[in-house]
Amino acid sequence: MKKMLPWLITILLAITLIVVAAFLLMNKWFASDTGNAVNDAAQQVETKKLTADEIVAMTSEITDIKTNLADPNYIVSINFAFQLDTETAKEEFEKIKEIKIKPLIIKTLADEKPQDLNGAAGKDRLCSKLVNLINNVLPEGKLTQVEITNYILATI
């Protein structure tokens, strides 16, 4: 028994260290990276308290976007409201929304699967992704918020 005691202690110590290391690295290995960067970048855009008139003055809409999703058996009909940080940014947005913004939205929706858009979390993820993509395209100002004003998902 005296000869086995050091071996038992060594084995137990090794198993304990392996379990502790696995526990510490588990978050890194099994973390869901699909959207953390998108959400983090979208949260960096500041929102300030505005009156209703200011919100209307700085909000633009794109309506009646109908396109297929990544699954060709599904189509989506969707409307968006885009809130920008200044009225000048809204004017610039209005100029490019049909030639830059709408195609960007269609491409983004074409990569989405129907199950990815289910629930509030899926729609929030889509809105966050659009904020980041559209801010890269805007010539002036920043997009602060995207809201889905109408959403219909149907099978073909």
Give the separation between CA 12 and CA 5, rounded to whole angstroms: 11
Domain co-membership, 52 together with 13: no
Helix ranges, the chain (H): 5-30, 36-43, 52-57, 87-96, 102-110, 119-137
Residue 99 is predicted with a pLDDT of 94
Which domain range does residue 52 map to?
36-155
CA quadruple 116, 126, 95, 140: dihedral, nearest 10 = -150
Residue 42 structure tokens: 């979208």
> pTM here?
0.68
Low-confidence spans in the chain with pLDDT less than 70: 1, 27, 30-48
Residue 34 is predicted with a pLDDT of 52
The CATH number linked to 103 is 3.30.479.30
Domain co-membership, 17 together with 55: no
Domain co-membership, 16 together with 93: no
Domain co-membership, 104 together with 41: yes
Coil, helix or strand at residue 118: coil
Coil, helix or strand at residue 69: coil
